[in-house]
Structure 1
Amino acid sequence: MNTLIAIIIIFGLLVFIHEWGHLYFAKRAGILCREFAIGFGPKLFSFRRDETLYTIRLLPLGGFVRMAGEDPELIQIKPGYEIGLVFNRRNQVSEIIVNNKSKHPEAKIVTVERVDLEKDLFIEAYEDGELVSFPVHEKASIIYDEEPTQIAPLDRQFGSKTIPQRALAIFAGPMMNFVLAFLILTAFALLAGMPVDESRIGMVSPEGAAAEAELVENDRILAINGQPLETWEDLTSVIQKHPNQDLVFEVERNGQVFEAVVTPQERQGPTGEPEGFIGVGQSTTFTVLGSIKYGVTETYVFAKLIFEALGMLVTGQFSLDQLAGPVGIYNYTGQAAEMGILVLMKWAAILSVNLGIINLLPLPALDGGRLMFIGVEALRGKPIDPQKEGLVHFIGFALLMLLMLVVTWNDINKFFL
C-alpha cells in the first residue's frame, strides 16, 4: 500500500508539473486550451474553470493538454443543418445548439446556409424563409449532447502563434520537469544537509565497524596506515579496498589526534567484487546557497548519466532487456519508499529528469518530435501538412505503446517469473 501511495503521489506530481508547463505557456501565448488531463481513457473526475476542462482519467500513463487547432474540430456545422441559436445581451450568438434543441426552448431555430467560426465569426441561416446573418461571439459555445465546446477563432489556435511561442509551449513541459527535479534536490539538501567533500565522518551506524572502534560523528580521518587523506573519496576508496583487514586510522577529534584500529566489514560492490565498509555517512552542512548549488549540480549529474545510458542504448552497449518499464519503476519506487523519505525524494528527482529528457527526444508523439516539426517549419518557411504530421505522430505513438508492452513484459519476467 505504501508503494502504491508513493507511486500515485510521485507520478501524479511529475505528470501534473509537466502538463502544467504546457498549459501555462500556451495560455500566456493566447492559445485556447480545451482540456488539461492527467491520464488517458475514460474520465473519472472533471471540473471546468474558465475556458479549460480539468480531468483525471482512468489509465495513469501520462497526461495531455488539448490545445485548439492541434487536432481537427470534432464538431462541425455544415450547410443544411438545423440548429438552435442563443444570444447574449449584445445580440451575438453565445450558444449554438446542435442537437436536443427541444431542451432549449429559448433557442432560435434556423437552417444553416453558411458558417464561419474561425475568421469573420458569423452564421448565415434561414429564419422563416429569410436569409439572415448572425454575428457570433468570440467565446461562443457549441452544445452537442448537452456538452459545451468553446469555438476557437484563428487567433486562439495553436497554429496561428509565432514559432517561438509554439516552441516554448511545447518545450515548457520537459523544462518544468527539470525545474521540479532541481526543487526536490534543493529541498533534499536542506533536509539532509549538503555533502562536504573532506575525510570527515558524518552519521555513524550503531552496528558498523566505525562504532565498534568508537569513532563518532564529526571525527576527521587524517590518514589510514600512514596514507594521508583529504577528500571523502580518498577515505572511501581505501576502506573499500581492504575488507576484513585491520586498518590504523589517524583521527582528529576536538583538536586532539589519536589512533584507532578499524576492521572494515565486507559486502558485494556494484561490480560484484567484495568491498569494505565501516558504516558511516558523509559529513554534511546546512546552507541555503549550498543547497541551491547542490540542486543545480545534481540535476546536471543525473541528466548526464541518463544521456550516457541513452547513448549506450543506441550503440548496443545497453539492451532493451535492461530497460525498466512501469512494473520495474513501481518495484524500484517501493524499494525507495522502504528506505525513507529522503531516498524517495532523490528517486523522484531522477524520474523527473528522466521524464524531461525522454520527452525531448526527437521522436514522433513526444514533445521532442513536435519541436522537430516546428524546427523544420522554421527552416522551410511554411508549416508541414497537418494531416501528414498527424499521421507521423499517430504511428510514433503506436510504436511507443508497442515498446511499452515489450518493456513491461520484460519487467514481469524479471520480477515475477
Structure 2
Amino acid sequence: MSSVLQGSFDIVSGLFGYLLPFLFVLAIVVFVHEMGHFLVGRLCGVKVETFSLGFGPRIARFYDRRGTEWAISAIPLGGYVKFKGDLNAASVPDHAGMAAIPADERGDSFPHKPVAQRAAIVAAGPLANFVLAFVIFTLSYMLVGRTLIAPVIGAVNEGSVAAATGFQAGDRVLAIDGEPVGSFDEIARKVSVSEGQRLIFRIERAGREIELAGEPAIMSRKTVLGTDRRPVMGFVASRDPAHFFRKYYGLGEASTTAIGEIVFVIDRTVHYVSGLVAGRERADQLSGPTRIAYISGKVAESGIAPLLMLAGILSISIGLINLLPVPMLDGGHLVFYAIEAIFGRPVSPRAQEISFRVGFALVIMLMLFSTWNDLVHLTGFAL
C-alpha cells in the first residue's frame, strides 16, 4: 500500500512540478502571439470568429459583444485566431464558403482585405512574441537585476587554447577585440560567437596590462538540450564570492540590454538552423513539449522570475519558428502575400491547398521527431 501511495504522490508531484510551469509559460507565449493577430485584425476591420488557447474540444468558452468566441481547448499545445473567411485554425482560405457570401457582406472577411493588411495581421503574431520578450527582459533587469561574476579567470584547463595562449588564474579581462567587458558573462557571449575568429584579449595581471590572442577551439558537450557545439577558450570564471555582484539596471540600460539579449538568441538560433542544414550541427537539440516541460519544471524551482525569463526566451523561439517560410506557419502565409504583391494576383487555390498539405506534413514530422528527441534524451539523463 505504501508503494502505491508513494507512486501516486510522485505522479502528483510531477504534475505540479513540471506540467503546471510548462502550461504557465506556454499559455503566456501563445496568448500574446494570438493576441497580436487578434488586435491587428480588429484594427483592420476583420471579424474574429474564434480566439482559442489550445486545440480540439472546448473546455470553457464565452462570446463577447462582437460575437467572437473566446475558448480554452483540451489540447494545450498552441492556440489560434480564426477570422471570417478562414476554413480552419491554420487560416487556410475558405474559397468555397466565401463564394457563397453576398458581395456586400465580404468587407469584414480576412481574404478580402488588401494584401498589406493581411500581411500585417499575420506578422503581428511573431512581432508580439518579440515584444513580450523585450518587456519581460527589461522589467526583469530593472526589478530583479542580474547576478554577475567579475571578468576574472578562476582556472585554466590544461591543454586548452587558453593554456597555450598564456592565460593564468587571476587574470582580469578588460576588453576583447577592443570592446570593454564588465562581467564573465560578456566574455562567454563573445567567445561563443567567435567560431573561426582570432580574439585579442586585453587583460590586467599583477597591476599591469598585457594582450593575449588566440582562436577558440570548437567543443561539443552533452546537455539536457542535446549536443551543444560551440567555441571555447578553456578557462572558467572565478568562484571567489568577492567577484560576485548583483546589478540593477535603469530603464535605458535595461532596454538596450534586453534588445541585445533578443538579438543574441536570434543569432544563435539562426546559426544553429543554418549549421543544421549545412550538416555542422546535430539535430538532437530540437526540443519538443516534453523537454520544454522538463526544463520549465527545473527553472520553476528557482522561482517565478527565472520562469518568466524562460518564457521570454521561448517567446523569441516561437516568433522565429512562425516566421519560417513553411505553409501552415505565419512565414508561409507571408510568402504567399509577397507573391501576390509582386504578381498582382493571389496564388491559385489549388497551389495553396497542396502547399498547406505539405506544410502540415512537415510540421507533424517535426513534432514527432522533436518528441522522439525528448524521450531519448530525458530517458538517458534519468538512467
Asked if these proteins are the same fold (TM beyond 0.5), I'd say yes
- Residue equivalent to 2:102: 118
The count of corresponding residues between Structure 1 and Structure 2 is 304
| Aligned partner (choices 259, 270, 290) of residue 327 of structure 1 | 290
Q: CA RMSD in A?
A: 3.7
Identity %: 31
Choose between structure 1 and 2: higher strand proportion: 1
Conserved 8 A contact 2:149-2:237: no
- Residue equivalent to 1:20: 35
Conserved 8 A contact 2:171-2:205: no
Choose between structure 1 and 2: higher helix proportion: 2
Q: String of CA shifts for 1:121-176, please: whole Å, max 9, x gaps.
A: xxxxxxxxxxxxxxxxxxxxxxxxxxxxxxxx211111211111000000000000
CA distance in 2, matches of 1:186, 1:376: 37
Conserved 8 A contact 1:232-1:282: no
Conserved 8 A contact 1:196-1:285: no
- Residue equivalent to 2:109: 157
| Aligned partner (choices 302, 319, 325) of residue 356 of structure 1 | 319
Compared CA separation, residues 278 and 196, structure 1 to 2 (3 A): closer
Measured after TM superposition, the shift of residue 16 of structure 1 is 0.4
Conserved 8 A contact 2:149-2:185: no
Compared CA separation, residues 250 and 19, structure 1 to 2 (3 A): same
- Residue equivalent to 1:192: 144
Matched, 1:398 2:361: yes
- Residue equivalent to 2:271: 308
| Bigger CA radius of gyration | 1
Q: Partner amino acid for 2:342?
A: L
CA distance in 1, matches of 2:110, 2:260: 35
- Residue equivalent to 1:88: none
Measured after TM superposition, the shift of residue 74 of structure 1 is 11
- Residue equivalent to 2:48: 33
Moved more, 363-372 or 51-60: 51-60
Q: String of CA shifts for 1:274-323, please: whole Å, max 9, x gaps.
A: 84641543441331222122222211111111111111111112232231
CA distance in 1, matches of 2:128, 2:186: 36
Matched, 1:58 2:109: no
- Residue equivalent to 1:205: none
Moved more, 49-58 or 272-281: 272-281
Conserved 8 A contact 2:33-2:129: yes
- Residue equivalent to 1:82: none
Conserved 8 A contact 2:148-2:184: no
| Aligned partner (choices 239, 253, 264) of residue 278 of structure 1 | 239
Measured after TM superposition, the shift of residue 11 of structure 1 is 0.4
- Residue equivalent to 1:70: 86
TM-score (norm 1): 0.64
- Residue equivalent to 1:167: 119
Q: String of CA shifts for 1:323-354, please: whole Å, max 9, x gaps.
A: 11111111111121123333222221110000
Q: Partner amino acid for 2:103?
A: K
Helix, strand or coil for the counterpart of 2:81?
A: strand
Could you tell me which runs of 5 or more consecutive residues in structure 1 were left unpaired when the two chains were aligned. 78-114, 121-152, 201-207, 210-223, 239-247, 252-267
Compared CA separation, residues 274 and 338, structure 1 to 2 (3 A): farther
Measured after TM superposition, the shift of residue 411 of structure 1 is 1.0
- Residue equivalent to 1:4: 19
Helix, strand or coil for the counterpart of 2:107?
A: helix
Could you tell me which runs of 5 or more consecutive residues in structure 2 were left unpaired when the two chains were aligned. 1-15, 88-92, 156-167, 175-180, 189-203, 208-221
Compared CA separation, residues 351 and 414, structure 1 to 2 (3 A): same
Helix, strand or coil for the counterpart of 2:103?
A: coil
Greater RCO (Cα-Cα under 8 Å, separation 6 or more): 2
Measured after TM superposition, the shift of residue 55 of structure 1 is 0.9
| Aligned partner (choices 303, 308, 326) of residue 345 of structure 1 | 308
CA distance in 2, matches of 1:234, 1:398: 44
